[in-house]
Amino acid sequence: MLEPATSVQYVKGIGPRLAEILAAKGIHTVDDLLHYLPFRYEDRVNPRSISELRSGEMATVIAEVRNSGLFRTRRMPIFQMTAGQGRSRLKSIWFNATYLRDKFKPGQMIALYGKVEQDQYSGEPQLVQPQFEIIGDSTDDGATDAAEQKVASSLEVGRIVPIYESAGQGRLTPRWFRRIIRTALDNLTPDLTDPIPAMVRQRLGLIAPREALWEVHWPDPGESLSDLQASRTPAHIRMIFEELFFLELGLELKRCEQKAQTGIGFKLDDRVREAIKKILPFHPTAAQKRVLKEIASDMEQPVPMRRLLQGDVGSGKTIVAFEAAIIAMEDGFQVALMAPTEILAQQHYFSARRILEATGYRVVLLTGSMEDARKRDIRRHIAQGNAQLIIGTHALIEQKVEFAKLGLVIVDEQHRFGVLQRFKLMKKSGDVGARVSTAQTAEPDVLVMTATPIPRTLALTLYGDLDVSVIDEMPPGRVPIITRRISDERSAEVWEFVRKQVAAGHQVYVVYPVIEESEEKELKAAIKMYKELDQRIFPDLRVSLLHGRLDSDLKDQTMRLFQKGEIDVLVATTVIEVGVDVANATVMVIEHAERFGLSQLHQLRGRIGRGAAKSYCVLMTGGKISEDGERRLDAMVRTNDGFQIAELDLELRGPGEFFGTRQAGLPSFQVANLIRDRQLLEAAKREAAAVLSGPSEEISKSEIALALRHMRARWQRTYGLVEVG
Ligand code: ADP
Ligand code: MG
């Protein structure tokens, strides 16, 4: 008997070698294998007779191979195979299919599935590019019987056939998966406990786990094909809900646990309010006021704050962060502000100095490039409690700093951090807390800032462990950025425009896409373009180059020159995406804009329009533009609203890509899809909260314990996080 946790290599027919291929697909256990769902289904319930085929329909035909061969036409080789049922004959063709040359032997029984079309010469129906499976060989007199038997027991014919993505460069075919998964199902232990509490099961009408596994791989011939394709059969719903439920259960638990720890209840009286008012160089927007209120009321509670501050680039998060910092500092606590890069840390440092100057708070900067003696000195100040606001890069603050009395950690993400990555990060900031002098037992508050608008539905998952505040309003007086797309054949006009802007005292970015797989090439393009702009097009202007391969000193130096206005045109790869604030830059030219993702385009555009002057984003396009590319460019021209952009981006790319799969720390789902399954996700969150509200008449203690145990095992296995719960 196979247990869900049994290694796949023990499923008959797999073994250690194939198990390795499966491991690369994330399939390690029997359970993983059974969660490897078909990406589509084919209706082969009713094999058709050749004589009744109509052109335009999809059909399954079971017939005997008569002959086959490769034909070369002027345009491409075409492989042709004729199969028959009695006297009827049916031709199938495959384009460019030289690999089929020796595939078929006359007399073989074969199942074909594909689109019926009319042959343009003979007018007869034919199958174009059908999928096929050889069901049996006919070699002697008893052949027909044997073949028929095979048909009967075949996993492909007379049923709705699941189609799996193949693995191992095609070695493990959809057919192989069908066979292996069937074997696994046949040998699966009969007593699978359902980890979902009965109350939840009932409310959602969920079928049992075992039944779901069978039905999803082995649908009943009567099952609705469209429900199957849409992953909306009871079997799919059961499996999807289960996955989301245990994700949300972990997140909810994490949230409860955080709330249960002792935090710091900061004093918030008129004196503090006065101190905050004093620093404001402008009237805060209504949105800024609202989020500050949310943050402040968290900070007043003696429970650790875990709050996400979301707001589009330029929406004014920084000042809100400083306001929060003042609340902590006024109460005698230290604040750590962590930025993703040194440039940004420096930028935060300068604005902190500017904004907090008059108030007398002691602000320090701690970066890797400082001399060691200097760093030691600053660390001592931090340990002794002399430094109040400590600004640095994540790496630096996380690892080596001991605080005297840390009250608030502000994490400026800029990049999208998924929930998992943040768990790790918070654990570290917890460590920071732990290294605070032993006299401090309370957990510091944590405020995470992100410049990436996250569609609301997704925030539920990604930030399920955090409370969310959103700044959904731009500071007044912003002139909306004008965005235009223009073919690169008209680049002369663009450069003319750039020249005018520079003459008017402004600065310009010119950005080249660096796409991972051809980074080298793109880099060359940027360097080449830099030379072209510097020497030929703008010989009289100050043009500089910035890209990721430059060493960080040089990068910093270039960025600083640009900030000081000593560079007119900065040619860059996407390294400038990070939030550097140069109010005087009014033009962003993006070359090959069709190659960028939508959110990335929006982030790049966010580098301009930071001052009072009118700003322009020019999307230059070259070559062929895909349909999605058109939609992206179109959206950019149409709207400046980061949330709208994010929603569309998510729709176009799917969650994995949207968050840049690997770095995102986004839980990768086996069966769920965050866009398709929004409603199930909401239900999962609701039910997870209900379960954690404790035992009642509806749910027993042992059910809760079982669910939590299952959740922990799952989190550990899938997300590599042991410490949850
Ligand atoms: P974010 O970090 O959200 O991208 P910033 O905090 O850097 O945005 O703010 C962008 C710019 O807007 C800064 O120059 C800041 O001084 C200015 N700003 C922020 N809030 C206001 C406001 N309420 N009124 C006027 N200007 C503001
Ligand atoms: Mg910022």
Q: What CATH number has the domain bearing residue 57?
A: 2.40.50.140
In this structure, of 265-279, 457-471, 648-662, the range with the lowest mean pLDDT score is 648-662
**Average of per-residue pLDDT across 11-17:** 95
Q: Would you place residue 84 in the very low, low, confident or very high pLDDT band (cuts 50, 70, 90)?
A: very high
Of ligand 1's atoms, which has the minimum distance to the CA of residue 319? 6
Asked whether residue 134 falls in the same domain as residue 202, the answer is no
Of 263-277, 399-413, 486-500, 545-559, the one with minimum mean pLDDT is 545-559
Percentage of residues of the chain with pLDDT beyond 70: 85
**Ligand 1 atom closest to residue 610's alpha carbon, by position in its atom list:** 11
Atom 23 (ligand 1) nearest CA? 284
Please say which residue of 119, 138, 158 terminates a domain.
Answer: 158
The alpha carbon of 320 and the centre of ligand 1 are apart by a number of angstroms equal to 9
CA of 339 to the centre of ligand 2 (A): 10
Highest mean pLDDT: which range of 268-282, 349-363, 517-531: 268-282
Q: What is the pLDDT of residue 667?
A: 58
Q: What's residue 440's pLDDT?
A: 58
Residue having the nearest C-alpha atom to atom 10 of ligand 1? 314
Higher pLDDT, 146 or 213: 213
What are the start-end ranges of the E strands in 290-442?
A: 306-311, 334-339, 363-366, 389-393, 406-412
Q: Which of 149-163, 264-278, 595-609 has the lowest mean pLDDT?
A: 149-163
* Residue 50: CA count within 13 A, CB half-sphere: 21
**Biggest CA pair distance of the chain:** 101
pLDDT (tens digit per residue) in 523-580 = 677 788 899 999 999 999 999 998 877 777 787 788 889 989 999 999 988 766 555 6
Q: Is the pLDDT reported for residue 103 higher than 80? A: yes
By percentage, how much of the chain surpasses pLDDT 90?
45
Do 430 and 281 share a structural domain? yes
Residue 293 pLDDT > 90, yes or no? yes
Exposure pattern of 694-716 as b/e (b: 16+ CB <10 Å)? eeeeebeeebbebbbebbbebbe
- Whether residue 593 sits in one domain with residue 501: yes
**Among the bound ligands, the one closest to the CA of 320:** 1
Domain count, the chain: 4
Average pLDDT, whole number, for the chain? Answer: 84
pLDDT, tens only, 216-231: 999 988 889 889 989 9
Neighbours of ion ligand 2 (CB under 5 A): 318, 579
Q: In three state form, how does the secondary structure of 461-478 look? A: HHCCCCEEEEECCCCCCC
Pocket test for ligand 1, best of 276, 318, 350, 447 (most atoms within 8 A of CB): 318
pLDDT digits (tens, 9 = 90+) for 205-216: 999 999 999 999
Which of these ranges, 395-399, 475-479, 493-497, has the smallest mean pLDDT? Answer: 395-399
pLDDT score of 701: 94
Tell me how far the alpha carbon of residue 313 lies from the centroid of ligand 1, in angstroms. 9
Which among 282, 323, 474 is the best mutation to test ligand 1's pocket, defined by most ligand atoms within 8 Å of the CB?
282
Find how far residue 701's CA is from the centre of its chain: 36
Same domain, 109 and 131: yes
Look up the domain containing 587 and give its range: 482-639
Give SS3 for 390: strand
How far, rounded to the nearest angstrom, does the alpha carbon of residue 139 sit from its chain's CA centroid? 53
- What does the pLDDT read at residue 250? 87
Nearest bound ligand to the CA of residue 476: 1
Q: Is 689 a member of any domain? A: no
Write down the H helix ranges in 193-316: 198-204, 209-217, 225-229, 234-260, 270-279, 286-300
Tell me: do 623 and 566 sit in the same domain.
yes
Q: Does a structural domain hold residue 258?
A: no
Around ligand 1, the residues with Cβ closer than 6 Å are: 282-285, 288, 311, 313-319, 451, 475, 579, 581, 610
pLDDT tens digit sequence for 234-243: 999 999 999 9
Q: How far is CA 711 from the centre of its chain?
A: 22
The CATH number that applies at residue 396 is 3.40.50.300
Last residue of a domain, one of 136, 158, 180: 158
Residues 50 and 39 in one domain: no
Q: Whose CA is nearest to atom 20 of ligand 1?
A: 316
Ligand 1 pocket test, candidate residues 279, 308, 313, 315, most atoms within 8 A of CB: 315
List C-alpha distances in Å: 274 to 279, 280, 313, 318: 9, 10, 28, 19
pLDDT of residue 722: 44
Please state the pTM of the whole predicted model.
0.67
Q: How confident is residue 522, by pLDDT bands cut at 50, 70 and 90?
A: low
440 plus 497 within the same structural domain: no
Query: Does 703 reside within a domain?
Result: no
Q: List, in order, residues 6 or more apart from 288 with CB less than 8 Å away.
A: 316, 319, 320, 471, 473
Window from 115-119, 472-476, 714-718 with minimum mean pLDDT: 714-718
pLDDT band at 302 (very low <50, low <70, confident <90, very high): very high
In sequence order, what E strands does 341-488 have?
363-366, 389-393, 406-412, 445-450, 467-471, 482-487
Q: Say how far apart CA 567 and CA 580 lie, in whole Å.
A: 15
More confident of the two residues 425 and 186: 186
Per the structure block, which two tokens stand in for 268? 């918030």
Of 189, 199, 197, 238, give the one whose Cα is nearest residue 215.
238
Ligand 1, atom 18: closest residue by C-alpha = 316
- Supply the pLDDT for residue 457: 64
**Cβ 703 vs Cβ 694: under 8 Å:** no
* Three-state DSSP state, 692: helix
The domain boundary, picked from 432, 452, 471, lies at 471
Q: 39 and 174 share a domain?
A: yes
Q: Say what the pLDDT of residue 720 is.
A: 60
- Across the range 299-321, mean pLDDT stands at 90
Cα 160 to ligand 2 centroid, rounded to whole Å: 53
Closest residue CA from atom 11 of ligand 1:
314
The mean pLDDT value for 126-149 works out to 64
Q: Which atom of ligand 1 is least distant from the CA of 581? A: 7
User: 155 pLDDT exceeds 50?
Assistant: yes
Predicted confidence (pLDDT) per residue in 621-675, tens digit: 987 888 888 999 999 999 988 878 877 887 776 655 555 433 344 556 788 887 7
